[in-house]
Structure 1
Amino acid sequence: MNSRSDKLIPAAIILFSVIPVLGGVLRLTELGGGAEITPDNARFFASPVPVVLHAVTVSVYSLLGAFQFAPGLRRRRPAWHRGAGRVLILCGLIGALSGLWMTAFYPKPADVGALLTGIRLVFGTAWAVFLVLGFLAIRRRDVPAHRAWMVRAFAIGLGAGTQAVLLSAWIAATGPLGQLSKAVLMLASWVINLVVAEWILRRPVRVPQGAHR
């Protein structure tokens, strides 16, 4: 059972992360390759450091974090789990803080209004706070609280994957997004991820005898 979970769960998360990770790669290629500056990308060329930090750290967070959901790997390699967790907390905090900076200070595209800006600020802040709470919990050896906060943080960090699916489906079905529709869909994406996270946390967990806690 664990052998299947060790493969299927990380694979599903990585598949779900492909679109936002590729988006980050394309953005970095655009910045590094001297692409034409347009109204849509001018803010990134004017201040590239936040978007570069965000693209790199969120990609690492999504891909490396997928393997933290492999139960057998966590038990067999506890040192790896702890080391990867430190990297994830650092990448997550940089990803959250760089995202908050871009939300607050980058010029807003036409389809981003005050509602979406507020939503991004709330969830970016929650992402950072959940990571800090997860870190503090494991420092006091509260493993259940650590797990809960880290799963919630990962749900927010993986929001871009859900947003890519929902926004693409909306555009295919109805056409371009407006400020309100984009804000509602992005909010729905984060809410969906957090609902799934809470479902995962509330599932009965069978712990084999002799398993590491």
Structure 2
Amino acid sequence: MTRRAHAWRIPTGLIALSLVPVLAGALRLAELGGDPAVTPENERFVTMPVPVVAHIVCATTFLLLGAFQFHPGLRRRRPRWHRLAGRVVAPAGILAALAGLWMASFSDLPPSDGTLLEVFRWLAGSAMVASLVLGVAAVRRGDVVTHSAWMTRGYALGLGAGTQALIFAPWTLTVGTPDVTTRALLMGAGWVVNLAVAEWVVRRRAGRGTRLRPGLVTTPAG
């Protein structure tokens, strides 16, 4: 495999992991655009469509366009493209998280969600907003290493729904439909797994930079 093809494995993998939430969001938008009948399953979406649409559109933009920000060649060869894309990705991610927090706070959530899952959603959404804001603040002061670290964490949190789908599928097939507490724990596991991988990437990247350019790399915040 060539080095160029290897570099595309990262954004390709991130896009593949995004497909489940992106396609689910597209189906939800199609449903809302068709004047659907209100049912217990879709009531919270139909009665409050604005934050739902904002969340889906912004999250889709954040996940798909954001995946290309992790292509090292694009960052090096086309830094202007990376900056312009970042000016779309960061606000989209922040708006997606804020819309998600709005829905978690003001929507009538189904009984299968429960209080624990609502707490997890608040923690993940708030951490995502904080990570992206810290990432933007870091790059504005010229600290690219810290910027990269916080944006990686923010993207990992935004990609939680993709990992949650991978966790839920084998559980449902082998164990069955989870109860309220188990569902919350499985959802939480998706965010935890993504954050753990993101932190490994951040520290590995920082260690590599320290070996290549001793004394010139800022240790990522966190």
The alignment's TM-score, normalised by the length of structure 1, stands at 0.94
- Structure 1 distance, partners of 2:169, 2:37, is 25
What CA deviation, in whole Å up to 9, does each residue of 1:95-138 have, x standing for no partner?
Answer: 01000000000001011111110110011000001111001101
SS in 2 for 1:205: helix
Deviation of 1:187 after TM superposition, in Å, equals: 0.7
Partner of 1:9: 10
Could you say what the CA RMSD is over the residues aligned between the two structures, in angstroms? Answer: 1.7
Deviation of 1:36 after TM superposition, in Å, equals: 2.8
Deviation of 1:37 after TM superposition, in Å, equals: 1.9
Q: Percent identity?
A: 49
Asked whether the 8 Å contact 1:111–1:177 carries over to 2, the reply is no
Asked whether the 8 Å contact 1:10–1:67 carries over to 2, the reply is yes
- Structure 2 distance, partners of 1:170, 1:50, is 30
Partner of 2:32: 31
One-letter identity of the residue aligned with 2:156: A
The alignment's TM-score, normalised by the length of structure 2, stands at 0.90
Partner of 2:202: 201
Question: What does 1:13-162 align with in structure 2 at a 5 Å threshold?
Answer: 13-162=14-163
Asked whether the 8 Å contact 1:68–1:74 carries over to 2, the reply is yes
- Structure 2 distance, partners of 1:87, 1:5, is 26
Partner of 1:192: 193
Instruction: Kindly report structure 1 stretches of 4+ aligned residues shifted beyond 3 Å.
Output: 204-209
Partner of 2:168: 167
- Structure 2 distance, partners of 1:84, 1:30, is 29
What CA deviation, in whole Å up to 9, does each residue of 1:24-79 have, x standing for no partner?
Answer: 00000000012332101011111100010001110111110111110011100000
- Structure 1 distance, partners of 2:208, 2:112, is 43
List alignment gaps of at least 5 residues for structure 1: none
- Structure 2 distance, partners of 1:198, 1:90, is 22
- Structure 2 distance, partners of 1:43, 1:189, is 23
Deviation of 1:169 after TM superposition, in Å, equals: 1.8
Which deviates the most, 153-162 or 173-182? 173-182
| Number of matched pairs | 210
Asked whether the 8 Å contact 1:6–1:70 carries over to 2, the reply is yes
Relative to structure 1, the CA distance from residue 123 to residue 196 in structure 2 (aligned partners, 3 Å threshold; closer, same or farther) is same
- Structure 2 distance, partners of 1:23, 1:64, is 18
Partner of 2:220: none
